Structure 1
Amino acid sequence: MTGQPYPEPAASPTATEAGREPSLRPARPRWRETLGLLARNPTAAGAATVLVLVALVAVFDQQLAPEGPNEISVEDRLQPPSTEHWFGTDDLGRDVLSRIILGASVSLRVGFTAVGIALVVGTLIGLLAGYYGKWVDDVLMRFMDVIFAFPAVLLAIAVLAVRGPGPTNTAIAIAVVYVPIFARVTRASVLGVREEVYVRASRSVGASDLRLLTRHILPNAAPPIIVQTSISLAFAVLAEAALSFLGLGTQPPNPSWGLMLAEGRGYIELAWWIAFFPGMAIFLVVLCFNLLGDGLRDVLDPRQRTAMGGGR
């Protein structure tokens, strides 16, 4: 019997291949390309550079500060900016520049600690609510709605009223305010990812929930969370300054930008520099975090990324 030979049967997958997850998940984020696109955005790159410099100042504050934060010199009190005291002195003769440098570590430490706590707790809540849905989603998000219903400043003040003032308690108070925000952002992002093809394919071959959440869902739901982190850092620094200004955050004589604003408001006409320079430090850091967040949003948005990359 003539004719075309029968095609050879396809080789059956081995046991190892059968148990392997299908390679349908998207490629890992191209961090090098992302950083390259971010560097091509002059506003975001400039903001990131300023923030890195401020962070270095906060880390090496003891070495960079010309004087100690609480070195009082009565004869030098209320001195205007000069070559000896670049930012002038306050009502106790303390060097304003030194206190701003040393206050950077306090303000940034509180801001990063608060956002770090809110990021971990809020992201975990959002992951569980978005992935499992149903009653888990209802219980967790209704609890977040209760917290979110309180005005942010009043909620932070209430937490500090219970725990007492201080940098650590200030970080906790700010974190409580931002947990619902991170939970909402994470949940919304997870809802858009959990039914993707690569997630359903991994689930069909028996991948555990923990593996799905950590290896597939969270990395692909991360861009909005990263942008929210940058924006939250800006408001956390601002919130720390506001609480210290009200006397509920960092306590004297420790240096803090918000506390320095409070100390200088009584001398605004006589010695404007006492409040002006810490106010400018707050303004600069908050502005740079917001500009960096805008740049990250553009770079991590797929449509904006394609346009910035020349349509690739």
Structure 2
Amino acid sequence: MRGRETLALLFRSPTAIVAGAVLVALVVTAVLGDSLAPHDPTATDVSNRLQSPSTAHWFGTDELGRDVLSRVIEGAAVSLKVGAVAVGISLVAGVLIGLVAGYYGTWVDDVLMRLSDVLFAFPAMLMAIAVLAILGPGSTNAMIAIGIVYTPIFARITRASVLSVREEVYVRAARSAGAGDLRIVGRHVLPNVTAPIIVQTSISLAFAILSEAALSFVGLGTQPPDPSWGRMLSEGRGFIEQAWWMAVFPGLAIFVTVLAFNVLGDALRDVLDPRQRSAMAGTGVTP
């Protein structure tokens, strides 16, 4: 019932509906990329290089005659895959660290949080570049690097939520009834701290996609000939005056995707906040 109420409140927000529709379209595009792409995204045709947008090539062609639209479509799959796997890594690792630190406290909390603080002290991109300098460039290593970078964020959010839940009456009652720590955490603690984690997941997906684009832009992410929005931006930078479409269309893809995830994250934050939720459910005001 709570899930249905959340969806009903989300559907009251026009911005959330638009953002959700954009993301659904993006996922469909990523899954059906090979079928939707009008041309082979890696096929070169130097005789058609730097062609402006036309009916034959809606987004034009690049310096090697490759169809930009096809590369943007294929790049969607790369961006979503890297973003989803990276956030999945940080989500699992961060939530586990936060649960253990918040539930047990004492020296366990101190050790885990100080380790998280060490990672959190470095700028995200510098940390990702440092990890890739050790592991080497490539999309797989980019997933690992981005996952490591965002793990402390999930750990902090989970820990803060667990600290406010672990002394609740229902948790103490379960402990008094002889329930083990694993059962208490799984049945009573984790379900009650999921709201901020869900919101952070949506926002982190936006920043993970942006981070992948930035890493590919500097040559550390997805490697040629595989298409990547960040790599396409880097390649189009040198032709911005004579072939603006090479940079504009992948840039727009990044902008729209990141904006959609952020808007959806803001809407989720509103509907999952207890006070906002009660006000919205009672008045019908959209977030």
Q: TM over 0.5, yes or no?
A: yes
Deviation at 1:310, TM superposition (A): 1.3
Check if 1:90 corresponds to 2:62: yes
CA distance in 2, matches of 1:42, 1:311: 16
Residue 180 of structure 2, aligned match among 192, 208, 222: 208
Whole-angstrom distance in 2 between the partners of 1:77 and 1:147: 45
Following superposition of structure 1 onto structure 2, how do residues 283-298 of structure 1 map, counting pairs within 5 Å? Answer: 283-298=255-270
- The aligned runs of 1:66-81 (5 Å cut-off) are 66-81=38-53
Whether 1:243 and 2:232 are equivalent positions in the alignment is no
Q: CA deviation at 1:197?
A: 1.1
Alignment partners' CA distance in 2, 1:195 and 1:263:
55
Is 1:125 the counterpart of 2:97? The answer is: yes
State the distance in 1 between where 2:180 and 2:25 align. 43
Distance 2:46 2:107 in 1: 65
Map Cα deviations across residues 77-123 of structure 1 (whole Å, 9 max, x no partner): 11111111110000111000000001111111001000000000000
Residue number among 120, 128, 144 corresponding to 1:156 in the alignment? 128
Residue in structure 1 matched with residue 201 of structure 2 by the alignment: 229
Choose the corresponding residue for 1:278, options 250, 253, 265: 250
Give, in angstroms, the shift of residue 280 of structure 1. 0.2
Q: Secondary structure at the match of 1:130?
A: helix
Between the aligned partners of 2:27 and 2:194, the Cα distance in structure 1 is 24
Compute the displacement of 1:129 (Å).
0.3
* Corresponding residue for residue 218 of structure 1: 190
1:134 maps to what in 2?
Answer: 106
**Mapped partners of 2:168, 2:242: distance in 1:** 63
**How many Å separate the matches in 1 of 2:53 and 2:279?**
47
Q: Distance in 1 between matches of 2:38 and 2:187?
A: 48
Report the identity percentage: 70
Q: Which residue of 2 aligns with 1:165?
A: 137
Q: Determine if the alignment matches structure 1 residue 42 to structure 2 residue 26.
A: no
> In structure 2, how many angstroms separate the alpha carbons of the residues matched to 1:154 and 1:71?
34
Please tell me the residue identity of whatever aligns with 1:238.
L
Aligned structure 1 segments of 4 or more residues deviating by more than 2 angstroms: none
For these two proteins, the number of residue pairs brought into alignment is 284
Structure 1 distance, partners of 2:13, 2:276, is 12
1:193 and 1:63 map into 2 onto residues whose CA distance is 48
> How far off is 1:172 after superposition?
0.4
Amino acid at match of 2:93: V
Q: Report the structure, 1 or 2, having the larger helix content.
A: 2
> In the alignment, residue 169 of structure 1 is paired with which amino acid?
N
How far, CA to CA, are the matches of 2:91 and 2:242 in structure 1?
43
Greater shift in the superposed pair: 203-212 or 284-293 = 203-212
Amino acid at match of 1:283: F
Distance 1:247 1:275 in 2: 16
Give the letter for the 2:66 counterpart: R
- 2:77 corresponds to: 105
1:311 Cα shift? 5.7
**Does residue 174 of the first structure (1) align with residue 156 of the second (2)?**
no
Paired amino acid for 1:248 = L
Q: How far 1:46 moved relative to its partner?
A: 1.0
Paired AA for residue 77 in structure 1: R
